[in-house]
Amino acid sequence: MSLSPPSTSAQAARKALADRLKGIRKDAGINGRELSVRCGWHPSKTSRIQDGQAAPSEADIRAWCAACGATDQVDDLISASRAVESMYVEWRRLRTAGLRNLQHSYAKLYEETRAFRFYTSDVIPGVLQTAPYATAIMSRFADASRTPDDMERAIATKMERAQVIHTGDHRFAFVVEESVLRYRLGDTEAMAGQLGHLLAVISLPRVSLGIIPFTAERSMWPVESFRVYDDRRVQVELVTAAVNVTTPSEVHEYVRTFTDLQAHAVYGREARALITAAIEALG
């Protein structure tokens, strides 16, 4: 089994919107140049929109439909456009508001979700991170962008959100690659504290933590890190953006992939042994 690239959903949705606009133009019996004249913009803009290379603004959609005598479709198209925009959210846009606001943006989703599935092949899952480990990771974001300097408040917000594993009726299933335990994303003290924290949370009643050993004989290879919320939404974090997957068939594919990965993981005493070995390797 293989997953499509995580940005595919957003690209496909944008292309579907572009095809709908192109179809409206054709139904109106006008070519791209005539539509451009009616809308008052350059023909290249029409080409970029209907080829899916540029996202139309809501004003663009209204102008397009008015030019084609299809104003009855405006509301539906704007709704589709907003859905596309929410699927692919640039980190740069979120970071400009500050790291704390970026962390706070997850609050409502975490409150509403009952069943969480986290698979990571790169870092310790966010809700299992300690403050020093999270600081080491978030410092990279602050250094690489023009993010407002609000690191302390961002970490505090992140730690507050992490309390979700202790409250309410939420259930958590984590699967991480053993390599995640070995990546040194903080200094020795931060890594030792983080790994020690994993030993503590592994016994929580609503938490299942599985680790896929280096030595596991696999039928499912490591894939991009992803999170599943109540079988209704998947979020994949890329270098430049967060991709939100909500199409039921694609969400199902991620759920099935998570189940396949779980089958390769070890739990309980075997998982603790892998964490302990990673701690000892710190020297």
Which pLDDT belongs to residue 82? 75
At 7, the amino acid letter reads S
Q: Closest Cα to residue 87, out of 256, 255, 247, 252?
A: 247
- Provide, rounded to the nearest whole percent, the portion of the chain with pLDDT above 70: 83
**d(Cα 212, Cα 181) in Å, to the nearest integer?**
11
32 pLDDT more than 90 = yes
pTM of structure: 0.71
What confidence tier does 2 reach under pLDDT thresholds 50, 70, 90? very low
Which pLDDT belongs to residue 60? 94
What confidence tier does 13 reach under pLDDT thresholds 50, 70, 90? confident
What confidence tier does 167 reach under pLDDT thresholds 50, 70, 90? confident
- Please tell me what DSSP assigns to residue 27: H
Average pLDDT over residues 161-174: 90
Which pLDDT belongs to residue 248? 78
Run of H or E including 107: helix 107-112
Which pLDDT belongs to residue 144? 52
Which pLDDT belongs to residue 1? 46
Q: Estimate the crossing angle of helix 131-144 against helix 151-162, to 10 degrees.
A: 140
More confident residue, 147 or 112: 112
Q: Mean pLDDT check: name the lowest of 51-65, 82-96, 193-207, 227-241.
A: 82-96
Average pLDDT over residues 29-58: 93
Average pLDDT over residues 127-132: 94
State the chain's mean pLDDT as an integer.
86
